[in-house]
Amino acid sequence: MIWLIGNKGMLGQDVEKLLKRKRLSYLASDKEVDIKNYQILKEFTKDIKIEWIINCTGYTDVDKAEKEIEKAFLINRDGVRNISKIALEKQAKLVHISTDYVFNGEKNKHLSYTEDDKTEPINLYGKSKLAGEKETKETFKKYFIIRTAWLYGRGGKNFVSTMLKLFKEKEEIKVVSDQWGSPTYTVDLAEVILKMINNDSDKFGIYHFTNEGVTNWYEFAREIYRKSKKLGIIDSNKEVGIRGIETKEYPTPAQRPKWSLLSKEKIKRELNLDIRNWEGALEDFLTTLSLQTK
């Protein structure tokens, strides 16, 4: 039995679709089963033999976390500790999703962050996620922590959906051009998680996964605009100006890493993965979106 936590979230929805498609036995929960309460989790899983736990839930509002510090840590640290304790008791393998924001973004440009690089988050969200990683590592050893970045998909708020909305509403938008990383399509990450389970992998540890390639938010926005116009998602007759700006011109409550390219060499090697480029993944997502909206 697989326990999927956060099945109504953006990534969780795609994981659940795959679980159904592969006809795997699973148990799903979301906010109705409070991960902050260990006893609730214990009661929910009572008398159920669980072999894998997939934790797709978490506090993800990066800017709000600067003020909602206690809430962010209750979910991203304490909640993860509770899930890890259940995994230990059940002797289940745990897949937990983390973030590139555990790094400070100061690494030399063109060099990827590896799983062994020093962590030094520069915002409260990143600190809460790193605290969750530590809770997992200190609780038991059968874990897969997957750090990802710039996640987008069909079932939630993300950069791609925000851009598509702005393209329809605005004549000009400003997008930060000096923060670099790799977009990640939820479908591709979900497939990696299911591959771990299908292989019944025991190569535990921390892994990095994004789509291949590197870009910045400005170039990402331009590519979304170009592809969505070609596919008819936005009006082909309407012109929207996209202007690149520096981070200092767009202040936010939370500081963001300037450079967060993650190395995928470990996960490619251990799982024998071929990872597609971010442009191809984006095209696939927008094509699916265009078919669903017609």
Question: Is the pLDDT at 291 greater than 90, yes or no?
Answer: no
Integer CA distances (angstroms), 143 to 91, 190, 191, 219, 287, in order: 11, 16, 18, 35, 35
Query: Do residues 7 and 14 lie in contact, with contact meaning Cβ atoms separated by under 8 Å?
Result: no
pLDDT in tens, 131-166: 999 999 999 899 999 999 999 999 888 999 999 999
Q: What is the mean pLDDT of residues 155-180?
A: 93
Cα separation, 178 vs 136, whole angstroms: 33
pLDDT in tens, 251-280: 999 999 999 999 999 999 999 999 999 999
Sequence-distant (≥ 6) Cβ neighbours of residue 287 within 8 angstroms: 231
Q: Which of 26, 59, 101, 125 is catalytic?
A: 125
pLDDT in tens, 12-37: 999 999 999 999 999 999 999 999 99
Helical ranges in the chain per DSSP H: 10-21, 38-44, 69-73, 80-90, 124-139, 159-169, 186-198, 217-230, 265-271, 278-293
Integer CA distances (angstroms), 226 to 67, 180, 230, in order: 36, 20, 6
Question: Is the pLDDT at 294 greater than 60, yes or no?
Answer: no
Integer CA distances (angstroms), 126 to 58, 118, 281, in order: 12, 13, 26
Q: What is the mean pLDDT of residues 189-195?
A: 97
| Helix/strand/coil for 262 | strand
In the chain, pLDDT over 70 holds for what percent of residues?
99
> What is the structure's pLDDT at 262?
97
> What is the structure's pLDDT at 155?
82
Q: What is the mean pLDDT of residues 53-70?
A: 96
Query: Do residues 186 and 151 lie in contact, with contact meaning Cβ atoms separated by under 8 Å?
Result: yes
Cα separation, 50 vs 151, whole angstroms: 28
**Domain spanning 2-158+184-213+260-276: CATH superfamily:** NAD(P)-binding Rossmann-like Domain (3.40.50.720)
| Helix/strand/coil for 134 | helix
Integer CA distances (angstroms), 212 to 164, 215, 280, 282, in order: 23, 10, 10, 12
> What is the structure's pLDDT at 293?
61
Question: Is the pLDDT at 65 greater than 70, yes or no?
Answer: yes
Q: What is the mean pLDDT of residues 181-189?
A: 97
Cα separation, 39 vs 251, whole angstroms: 41
Query: Do residues 175 and 243 lie in contact, with contact meaning Cβ atoms separated by under 8 Å?
Result: yes
250 is catalytic: no
Cα separation, 175 vs 258, whole angstroms: 14
Pick 257 or 238 by higher pLDDT: 257
